[in-house]
Each structure stands twice: as structure tokens, then as C-alpha cells.
Amino acid sequence: MNKPVARISALSLSLLLLAGCATTSLTSAPESPAQSQALALIEQGKPRDAAVQLEALANTLRGSARSAALADAAFAWHEAGDATRARSLLSQVQPRQLTGASLQRYQLTSAELALADRQPAQALAALKESSDAVAPSLRTRWQLARANALQATGDTLGAALERARAHAALTSKARSDNQQAIASLLGTLDDATLRARAAALPANEPLYNFAGRALIARGLPLPRPFDRDGASQFDTSKRPPAMSDGYRPPVKMAVLLPLSGRLATAAQPVRDGLLSGYYGESRRRPEIQFIDTAGTAAGAVAAYDKAVGAGADFIVGPLGRDEVDAVFGRAQLPVPVLALNRGKGSPPAGSAGFSMAPEDDGIIAAEYLRGRERGKVLVVHSNDETGRRAAAAFRERFTQRGGQVAATVGVNDTVGDVGAQLRAAGSVDGVFLAVKAPQARTLAPQLALAGAGGASRVGTSQLTLGSGKPEEDMALDGIIYPNEAWNVRGVAGLPAASTAGQILPSARGASGRLFAFGFDAWKISAYLDKIATEGALAGATGTLFLDSNGNVLRVPVWSTFSGGRPTPIASAN
């Protein structure tokens, strides 16, 4: 038991000495060839070899050169996973003799070991230098270590700031994990605090774009449009100047849709909605060409190449998820794309993505319930891909926001008796229903018998599928769900939803949502500069925003069932 205490004490002494040091400078005596060669082994994935060589080198040196070699050796042993040896060498270093990158490696190693010892204050003392002055090879780890220390000391916003600054340098799982961590940190802030802190962030502070996405998910206004760098700019240089309202459509637009194949049924209302917006515009319109992708990845790539060859300056589509991944996976996209689904990653620079994904319904439902201080919920979802994806997104966001999912119940199309599973959740103040109308009608009385009848019930946009008979849908009364703006209020350039449904079969019933989606795809194409620079665009599916990653975000309107009929909620947000 005494050994760990001795190590911590030695580390603490080193940090106290470090706290009195002068400001770190990147200017230092040049590394010897042997030191440089050993440090290069770390970059080659051989930290243990580097540590052995650096420690041996330190034994041949004196004074500041010895301290620098020991600090670098400690860093290398830490990289190799030998914390005990790293601590031992740190205790032999004279911090006042260190400068430049060796000092920063010493500080970072000390801080990460202090975090392992659950000593965040000591870690912050070691990392007091601004990351702007830190060597680029150490900067991201420095920022993440500061984030962990700040979070451990209760500075939620400071931790989020550091993580946001580190984000651009991360890749793959580390990047997605960091994004989730930022969302969790921001999720602890109430609406008023989030709005105030976001508004106070300076231009081009990386955290602003994360805070903006959190605000939109909660249905709250942006203090200003998203910050954009060169990678998130959209090339509209071939288009004529914008009109007074921001209307600036492409010159020649190609639309890639699966007009044949398994996705053709979904493509028809998207196409009709886009054309309704297109022909509803009396001003200059682009030449438009529809190209069939056949619903396959190879077909989507071939359709993209055909559009480029035909001279298109903007491309809408493709629609399928595999199709989007195939097109976005190209090394270069000479013509920008507005994809109509969510790919595995963010859209490439200069392109955008717009989707009506089940995850979106799950996220906004979680925000709706947390915004009304519901803390313990029951999740019920259909056992299909749509229901599972919505439920997973809900669970992730709800827990990020400090809520608890008491139980998750999956149901088939024919629900059956699930009362025992519902009762097992215990007392809840909210229910998330990622199901269609027939399932919800069967579940409603079972929820009441399970004691959840008085809980706030929120569904997804799927709730209207299978509805339409008020005498049956009275069982749905009181369930809140996200709706398309087109169903609730007028949208410029479109007839009312009821009128359009009488004219076009593709605009009625379940297809109406995809029809509105297609209309918005046209509107985004025609107002791309406006939505990118001014921050919001009123669409048929809701209020649309374009974030710094090229994702179109949507704030829907909310409705409920009353007397078995869908009824708008005036002030749900």
C-alpha cells in the first residue's frame, strides 16, 4: 500500500515544481541525433524501443540534457503502457531544466498519470499552458487530457470546449466517441444556460457548431448561423446572382433516384414533391434531368458519372443508404451533391446530406421529454429496422441528457399481451412509442393498466401510419408526435396537404411525408446559399438548418391526437 503513495508523492512534488516554471516555449536546444532517432521510434509504433534507447542515452548525459532525455523516456514508457517505469523516471527529472517539446512531453505524461490517480487538479496544474503553444504532435492529447481533468473538476463547459478543439484531428471511433462525449456534456446544460453559453462563444470557436446542433435538436433558435471553414463551403459560382429572397437555383441539375428496382415505390413521391416545387416556381428554373440509379450502389455511381458528363452543376440524390455511401466514398466529387439519405459518415467537403432518418425522430423525442423534465421513461418499439433505430437513438440521447430508460420493449406487428413487460418498468413519467398506429392502439390500454397511462407519451412520425379512422384512433388521444409543417401550416410554393392529396396519389397518406421531403430537396437546392449563410429555411417537413458538417437538420412541428384526429400543438417547443 505504501508504494503507490510514494509514487503519487513524487509525482505531486514534480508537479509543484512544474507549477512554478516559466511559461513553456517551443524554443529549445536542438535534440541530439540519437535523441531524435529514438523519438522517431514512437511515431513508428515502437515506444518500448524508444524508451530503452532514451533511458540509456540519459545515463550518458548531465544537467538539462539528462533531464530532457529522462522526460522523453518517461513519455515513451507511458506510451508503451509501463506506468511504473514512467513514474520512476519522472521523479528523477528536474522540471526547471526542461524547455520546448521535452517539457511538454513531461507535462503531458505527468497529467495523464495524475488523471489515472484521480488527481484532476494536479493534471490541470501540469496542463496550464494553452494548447495553441503546444507541439502539434501533442496538441490533441493535451486538449483531451485537459477535457478529462476539467470534467472531473465539474467544469462541464470547459471540458466541452477542449473536446471541440480536439475534434478536427480525430478519426474513426475516436472521433465518434468524442462527438458523443461533447453531446453528453452539453446535455447536462439546461435550455437557458445552453442558449446563453452558445451566444457568448466567439466566431469560429469549434464548440459553437456542436452547441448549435444541440439547440436545434431542442427546437431552440440559433444565436447566429453555423461557423463555416473552407471545407464546409458550397460552390455556387456557376449560378447567376441570388434574387432578393435568396433564390439562386443551379443552372443544370441532375436528380439521381431509383426509378426502377426495390426503392422505386419510395422514389415516386420524392420525385413528385421535387417537381411540385420546381414547377411551382415562376422564376428562372434549372434544366433538370432525372437519372435512374436502379437502387444499387453501382447504379448510383454510374448515375453520378452520367450527370457529371452531361454538364450538371448540382446533383440531388441518390436515395438509398448504400447508394449514398458509394457516391460519398468516391475520392473526389467534381460536382456537389445533396444526398437524400444519411451515409455512414458526414458528407464530403462541398456536399450535403438531407434525410428523414428514424434516428432523427428518436433524438427529438428525447429532447422533447427531457425539456419537460421527464426523467424516467419506458421505450416501446416495433421489431423492424425503423423502430429499432429510432429507439436506439432515443436511448442514447435521453441518457446523454441525464434521463433514465427504465425498460425497452420490442413488439411485433401483432402486439399481443405485453402487460407484464410494461409493468416490469415500474413507475415512469414518460413513454416513447416508436410504433405505427395499429400497434399504438393495442398498446394504449395496456399502458394504462400498467400504470403508465398518465405518463407523457411521445411517438415518432410513424404513428400516423395505419391511422385515419377517428373512432379507432381515439385510443391514440394525447400521444404527441413530430409532424411535417406542410400538414399544419401553409408552405409557400405548395398547395395545402389536403388539396395536394386529392390531386396526386403520391401526396396522400404515408407517401405524403416523402412528397414533402422531395419538395424540400428542391428548396434546399434553390436556396443553398441562403440556408448556409442565414441559418434557417422554412420547408414542408419543418424548419431546415445546414450545419457545418453538411448535414441538413430539421425542426418539425408537433401534433397530437384529439378525438381520434391529428391536431397541431401550438407551442410544443
* Residues 140-177: tens digit of each pLDDT: 999 999 999 999 999 999 999 999 999 999 998 999 99
Residue 3's pLDDT is 38
**Per-residue pLDDT averaged across 254-267, rounded?**
96
Residue 533's pLDDT is 86
Stated as kind and residue range, the H or E segment containing 552 is: strand 552-555
Q: How confident is the model at residue 490 (pLDDT cuts 50, 70, 90)?
A: confident
Asked whether 211 and 201 are in contact (CB, 8 A), the reply is: yes
**Does residue 321 carry a pLDDT above 80?**
yes
Asked whether 342 and 324 are in contact (CB, 8 A), the reply is: yes
Instruction: Measure the CA–CA gap between 573 and 145, rounded to whole angstroms.
Output: 37
**Does residue 1 carry a pLDDT above 70?**
no
Cell 395505419 identifies what position? Answer: 466
For residue 347, cis peptide bond before it (omega within 30 degrees of 0): no
Q: Which residue has the higher pLDDT, 571 or 512?
A: 512
Q: How confident is the model at residue 310 (pLDDT cuts 50, 70, 90)?
A: very high
Q: What is the pLDDT of residues 39-60, one digit of tens each?
A: 999 999 999 999 999 999 999 9
DSSP 254-321: EEEE-SSSTTHHHHHHHHHHHHHHHHT--S---EEEEEE-TTSHHHHHHHHHHHHHTT-SEEE---SH
**Does residue 2 carry a pLDDT above 50?**
no
DSSP 44-66: TT-HHHHHHHHHHHHTT--HHHH
Asked whether 305 and 335 are in contact (CB, 8 A), the reply is: no
Asked whether 534 and 526 are in contact (CB, 8 A), the reply is: no
**Does residue 510 carry a pLDDT above 90?**
no
**Does residue 536 carry a pLDDT above 70?**
yes
DSSP 484-548: -HHHHS--TTS--HHHHHHH-GGGSTTHHHHHHHHHHHHHHHHTHHHHHHHS-EE-SSSEEEE-T
The b/e string for 347-363 (b: 16+ C-beta within 10 A; e otherwise) is bbebbbbbbbbbbbbbb
Cα angle for residues 35, 38, 41 (degrees, 5° grid): 150
| DSSP code, position 231 | G
Residue 144's pLDDT is 98
Residue 562's pLDDT is 95
Residue 93's pLDDT is 96
DSSP strand pairing (565-568 vs 557-562): antiparallel
Q: What is the pLDDT of residues 110-122, one digit of tens each?
A: 999 999 999 999 9
Residue 331's pLDDT is 80
Non-local (6+) Cβ contacts of 217 within 8 A are 363, 364, 367, 397, 553
**Does residue 23 carry a pLDDT above 70?**
no
For the record, the C-alpha cell of 195 comes out as 442558449
**Does residue 22 carry a pLDDT above 50?**
no
Q: Which residue has the higher pLDDT, 32 or 18?
A: 32
3-state class (DSSP) for residue 15? helix
DSSP 383-446: SSHHHHHHHHHHHHHHHHTT-EEEEEEEE-SS----HHHHHTT-S-SEEEEES-HHHHHHHHHH
Residue 15's pLDDT is 42
Residue 76's pLDDT is 97
Instruction: Measure the CA–CA gap between 222 and 225, rounded to whole angstroms.
Output: 7
Residue 234's pLDDT is 84
Asked whether 208 and 522 are in contact (CB, 8 A), the reply is: no
For the ranges 2-16, 31-45, 230-244, 290-304, the one whose mean pLDDT is highest: 290-304
Residue 275's pLDDT is 97
For the record, the C-alpha cell of 422 comes out as 410494461
For the record, the C-alpha cell of 507 comes out as 401526396
**Does residue 472 carry a pLDDT above 60?**
yes
Percentage of the chain lying above the pLDDT 70 cut: 94
3-state class (DSSP) for residue 337? strand
Asked whether 369 and 458 are in contact (CB, 8 A), the reply is: yes
Q: Mean pLDDT score of the chain, rounded to an integer?
A: 91
**Does residue 24 carry a pLDDT above 90?**
no
Instruction: Measure the CA–CA gap between 564 and 454, rounded to whole angstroms.
Output: 18
| Residue 17 φ then ψ, to 5° | -65, -40
Ranking 246-260, 424-438, 533-547 by mean pLDDT, the lowest is 533-547
For the record, the C-alpha cell of 518 comes out as 422531395
